[in-house]
């Protein structure tokens, strides 16, 4: 089961990166032959068990991002099929009912999800590479090779270590022994996140003490102090240290794709997430950056991370939070339970006192809501965040509530069914069928656990809350409502039970 934190993070990242588009590729070769292997519940396990290395995409046919990826994935598969030995890309339609057990097994919470499966599927890692053909090819070829490479010259070092990514280098007097074995284990464990190398002579490395003979592990990064040395060789401890040092004091989100991996890492932490959005071309940008960095340094290690985002790159975030550009500069802090705190039209000197007030618990939570509808006379009633309490919890009625997304194909298919259900209860004032656009209204994740669309919940007149996970037919939904409605409320309303 996917955690609520991961779910909200996934939804936000989808919104954040909903910019630009992937070019469609075509080739005569791919038109006549498919190189991406199609797998399903019947052949997945047997096929994967025979592979030392395979990359699998879990997709849904209705997913726009999957459709954009498809020609790129196919083109990459065509190129990789010519490697010796061939490198295999495969796909699974995770929207098919019979394949959903595979999706659950591999923690698929959104589409597309790409996994790297090694050694017959015994090792599973996230694919964290590009989504265009050339980038896929480069990333997959690296992932299929050794987890760490030996650096034998300054040229080798310069090819591996640059100013755009994190690279981890082990310095060892000899490539053997327990510490070297632990380093190679670390490299295998984190190879989908970082590049690894090892060297005898530290003089070949571009930064750091060149006189060390090791064993040490040196982390190179394109931000903050630029390199960090570790003398710890416990693998679990190293993983934690590397994760801690791999997040900038202030993460930058703009249109530079090289910075996007750090944005993903920022959102995958357990920290509260402070996000400052402003126009990077404004005259006051340097003053904001300076003040914001000072605050980030002040609260380092206190459970809050800091990101600064360019307005031009953050359209998806504004849609997700229900914000408008005339509120910029603004700062949002999001907690892992979904709560948000907002300060709009701020000046650089506002940042420190506002964050201090937030940490002290003196800032009121912000709630995104559509306007309460003035007319609400359709069979399925419209609920928004601002009237959810009154309409659902304080109504004294039995309420079936759908959480939907306007773009969701399954929601569109369910809509006429819910209309029919609502019409069947139109003579029973104790039953209400309602819907809430979960992309435009904030909901309490501790009450309603919405991981996908549509999600249905039933609240009885006495306040009992039940998820509905039955068949989405009119008959089954009506039967569920009848079984779980409070009869006493129906009798008091003067209506007979249907």
Q: What is the pLDDT of residues 177-203, one digit of tens each?
A: 999 999 999 999 999 889 999 999 999
Contacts of 479 (CB under 8 A, 6+ apart): none
Lowest mean pLDDT among 9-18, 365-374, 432-441, 472-481: 9-18
Looking at beta carbons, which pairs linking 237-244 to residues 24 or more positions away fall under 8 Å?
238/182, 238/186, 239/186, 239/189, 239/190, 242/168, 242/190, 242/194
- Distance between first and last Cα of the chain: 36
Q: What is the mean pLDDT of residues 328-334?
A: 95
CB 308 within 8 A of CB 251: yes
> Which token pair is 402?
């759908």
Whether the predicted pLDDT of 280 surpasses 90: yes
Report, as an integer, the average pLDDT of 32-42: 90
> Exactly one of 16, 54, 66, 216 is catalytic; which is it?
66
Catalytic site residue from 2, 22, 63, 415:
63
Residue 63 catalytic?
A: yes
Helices 64-80 and 133-144, axial angle in degrees (round to 10): 60
Q: Do the strands 195-199 and 148-150 form a parallel or antiparallel pair, or are they unpaired?
A: parallel
R_g of the chain computed on alpha carbons: 26
Q: Which CATH superfamily is domain 4-144 in?
A: Glutaredoxin (3.40.30.10)
Which CATH superfamily does the domain covering 251-359 fall into? Glutaredoxin (3.40.30.10)
According to the model, what pLDDT value does residue 12 have? 64
Asked if 4-144 and 251-359 have one fold, the answer is: yes
Report whether 168 contacts 195 (CB < 8 A).
Answer: yes
- Residues 299-317: tens digit of each pLDDT: 998 999 999 999 998 888 8
Nearest to 354 by CA among 367, 363, 345: 363
Question: For residue 284, what are the contacts with CB-CB under 8 A and spacing of at least 6?
Answer: 278, 329, 348
Distance of CA 175 to the CA centre of its chain: 38
Neighbour-count burial for 228-266, b at 16+ CB within 10 Å, e otherwise: bebeebeeeebeebbeebbbbebbbbbeeeebbbbbbbb
What tokens appear for 201 in the block? 């002579």
Query: Is 408 assigned a catalytic role?
Result: yes
What pLDDT score does 324 carry?
Answer: 85
pLDDT, position 289: 96
Sorting pLDDT into bands at 50, 70 and 90, what band is 13? low
φ, ψ dihedrals at 437, nearest 5°: -75, 105
In residues, how long is the chain? 498
The class that CATH gives domain 381-484 is alpha beta
Please tell me which residue in 18, 239, 408, 465 is annotated as part of the active site: 408
Domains of the chain, residue spans: 4-144, 148-245, 251-359, 381-484
Q: Spelled out in words, what is the top-level CATH class assigned to the domain 148-245? A: alpha beta
Q: Does an H or E element contain 163, and which?
A: none
Q: Which helix (H) or strand (E) holds 436?
A: strand 431-437
Active site residue 368: no
C-alpha separations of 258 from 40, 166, 224, 340 in Å:
34, 11, 16, 28
Which residue in 304, 351, 411, 436 is the catalytic one? 411
Whether the predicted pLDDT of 2 surpasses 80: no
């Amino acid at each position: 089961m996917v955690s609520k934190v991961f779910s909200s993070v996934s939804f936000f990242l989808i919104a954040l990166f909903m910019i630009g588009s992937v070019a469609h590729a075509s080739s005569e070769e791919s038109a006549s032959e498919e190189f991406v292997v199609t797998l399903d519940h019947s052949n997945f396990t047997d096929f994967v068990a025979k592979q030392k290395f395979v990359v699998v995409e879990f997709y849904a046919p209705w997913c726009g991002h999957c459709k954009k990826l498809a020609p790129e994935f196919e083109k990459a598969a065509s190129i990789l099929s010519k490697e010796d030995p061939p490198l295999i890309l495969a796909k699974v339609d995770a929207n098919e009912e019979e394949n959903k057990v595979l999706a659950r097994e591999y923690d698929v919470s959104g589409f597309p999800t790409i996994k790297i499966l090694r050694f017959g599927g015994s090792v599973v890692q996230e694919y964290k590479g590009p989504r265009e053909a050339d980038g896929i090819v480069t990333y997959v070829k690296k992932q299929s090779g050794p987890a760490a490479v030996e650096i034998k010259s300054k040229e080798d070092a310069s090819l591996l270590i640059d100013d755009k990514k994190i690279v981890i280098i082990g310095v060892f007097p000899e490539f053997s022994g327990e510490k070297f074995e632990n380093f190679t284990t670390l490299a295998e464990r984190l190879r989908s996140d970082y590049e690894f190398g090892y060297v005898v002579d530290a003089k070949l490395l571009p930064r750091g003490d060149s006189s060390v003979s090791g064993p040490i592990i040196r982390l190179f990064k394109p931000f903050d102090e630029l390199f960090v040395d570790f003398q710890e060789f416990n693998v679990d401890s190293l993983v934690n240290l590397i994760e801690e040092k791999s997040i900038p004091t202030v993460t930058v989100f703009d249109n530079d794709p090289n910075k996007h991996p750090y944005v993903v890492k920022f959102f995958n932490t357990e920290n509260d997430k402070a996000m400052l959005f402003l126009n990077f071309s404004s005259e006051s940008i340097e003053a904001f950056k300076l003040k914001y960095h000072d605050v980030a340094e002040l609260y380092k290690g206190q459970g809050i991370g800091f990101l600064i985002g360019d307005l031009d790159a953050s359209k998806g975030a504004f849609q997700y939070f229900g914000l408008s550009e005339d509120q910029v500069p603004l700062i949002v802090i999001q907690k892992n339970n979904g709560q948000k705190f907002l300060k709009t039209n701020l000046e650089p000197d506002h940042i420190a006192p506002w964050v201090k007030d937030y940490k002290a618990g003196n800032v009121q939570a912000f709630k995104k809501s559509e306007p309460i509808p003035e007319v609400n006379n359709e069979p399925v009633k419209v609920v928004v965040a601002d009237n959810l309490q009154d309409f659902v919890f304080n109504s004294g009625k039995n309420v079936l509530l759908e959480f939907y997304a306007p773009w969701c194909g399954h929601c569109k298919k369910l809509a006429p069914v819910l209309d029919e259900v609502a019409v069947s209860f139109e003579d029973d004032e104790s039953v209400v069928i309602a819907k809430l656009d979960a992309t435009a209204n904030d909901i309490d994740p501790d009450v309603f656990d919405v991981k996908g669309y549509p999600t249905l919940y039933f609240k009885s007149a006495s306040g009992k809350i039940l998820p509905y996970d039955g068949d989405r037919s009119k008959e089954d939904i009506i039967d569920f409502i009848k079984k779980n409605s409070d009869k006493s409320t129906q009798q008091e309303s003067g209506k007979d039970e249907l």
